[in-house]
Amino acid sequence: MMSRHDEPRARDKQPLDGFTPSEGFMDSLVLHALDAAQKAGADYADVRLIEEQYEYIQTKDLLVSGFNKGVSRGAGIRVLKEGGWGFCATQKLTKLEIEKAAKRAVELAAASASCMRSPISLADEPVYSAVWASPHLIDPFSISTEDKLDVLMSSARTILGVKGVTLAQGRLSFVREKKTFASTLGTKLQQTFVRSGCCIEAFATNEMERQRRSYPKHVGQFELAGWEMVQGWDLPGNAQRIAEEAVALLSAPQCPSGQSDLILGSSQLGLQIHESCGHPSELDRALGQEINFAGASFLTPDKLNDLKYGAPIVNLVADATAPGALGSFGFDDEGVAAQKVYLVKDGTFKGYLSSRDTAHLIGLGRSGGSMRAQSWSHAPIIRMTNISLVPGAAGTLDDLISDTDNGILMETNQSWSIDQMRYNFQFSTEIAWEIKNGKRGRMFKNPSYSGVTTEFWNSCDAICGADDYVEWGEPNCGKGQPCQTMWTGHGASPARFRGVQVGTAYS
């Protein structure tokens, strides 16, 4: 399989005929919305007009269990009036309905302002006029359904051919999103995103239990990429291995309990970063403004530039500029240009995921560019971009195993739990291996590990290098109420943590 961190990309220039109305039509509606908002009394307004084409395919054994494709279009209008936010959305893209939505947004903003302790203030941002497109090589919507199903069915046949396997599942996901943004400040943006995802799973069952192995990771891998990413991950070529591992797990010993040196594989480390760094570094959470669904944060502003979050080798960044990574973009959903922001530098807590209306609350002169919305019908909130662990100097995973006398290697997430402050956590993985005298040994089933966020990251003493670095994609990060899901990314190389509590998740 090709390396995921340096795969060549190219911008797809194929037309979107049949999907996207003319740019003039979109421009006219967006400008009309801004004009309507100002006439209704808005002090500031921005508009997102979004068109999304999607296709989702699911298989169960050798049958198609799900097939969904379609198009969604709509506009979201966000306004400030007298220091209060108002938002309204509509899927009726006519000038009359746009005017109604703009007026309603202003009415809601005025109502919000009447309840505010202090008016909202927006950090400055340059005015932009730009077109941005995510790089990809092969338009996934140009690939026939038959060819897509052939990948999943070929994988399923291989999985089901392994004795002891009781179920094979597969999924493909493709989204093309075209977003037009404009604000009363003069910014005008057009962005096009192509997102692709793939996954296969093998299940083995006996009279006592069921074991699962997933590839490329739990829920699958997702990237800002085209059909080439499905080809690159080679689902059929990895089907035999995961099927055999699922069966072997049934007879494998339970993971032992106690203190152990722990190596986390790249994908599992990505989810660890998501839960114990990504969510707590969201500034709205840290300020107590947004604590729905996923809780608050222990990373309060008094800890900024002071807390020893991790060991000196730990560097965590929010990088919306990473090519091909799922959380990348040209501009966020309030017109702020993509940036790379250090959240943890040399082990010290240094930064937040921020927005134009929260930046000044901690003395920042500019937003970190982290405001995004699930769709045209949602108001943007602070969301993760690509929260990634900078590669280290420990070589490859094989090098790290050779450098570990005794320990456990865990890979592929199975379940997770973390408290509302993002401090105490427990994760289980699909599979683990014993490391003894620098060699990978016995397979363990039902492994788990737990810890306290800062203690865990301070125990990190080795991070693998760029050769093992992967930009993993998480397609369904939940936050807010009503809940929004979001595309986020997490780049990571395998890493070692000393003296971690490990054990058995299921007996």
What was the pLDDT predicted at 202?
98
Judge whether 12 and 79 are in contact, CB under 8 Å. no
Q: Domain 23-251, what architecture?
A: 2-Layer Sandwich (3.30)
Q: How far apart are CA 452 and CA 409, in angstroms?
A: 19
CB 319 within 8 A of CB 388: yes
| Alpha-carbon distance values, 329 to 105, 336, 489 (Å) | 26, 10, 11
Q: What residue ranges do the domains of the chain occupy? A: 23-251, 258-504
Which pLDDT belongs to residue 271?
A: 97
What angle, rounded to 10 degrees, do the helices at 95-113 and 23-39 form?
40
Q: Check the CA dihedral 299-305-309-315 and report its sign.
A: positive
> Quick check: helix, strand or coil at residue 220?
coil
| Bridge partners of residue 155, in order along the sequence | none
Provide the residue count of the chain: 507
pLDDT reported for residue 23:
62
What is the rounded (10 degree) CA torsion for 297, 327, 193, 133? 120
The predicted pLDDT at position 292 comes to 79
Assessment of whether the complete model's pTM goes beyond 0.85: yes
DSSP 303: G
The pLDDT score that the predictor gives to residue 25 is 59
Query: What would the 3-class secondary structure string for 67-128 be?
Result: EEEEEEEEEEEEEEECCEEEEEEECCCCHHHHHHHHHHHHHHHHHHHCCCCCCCCCCCCCCC
Helices (H), 161-275: 227-233, 235-251, 266-273
Query: Which pLDDT score is estimated for 293?
Result: 76
Which residues of the chain are modeled with pLDDT < 70? Answer: 1-25
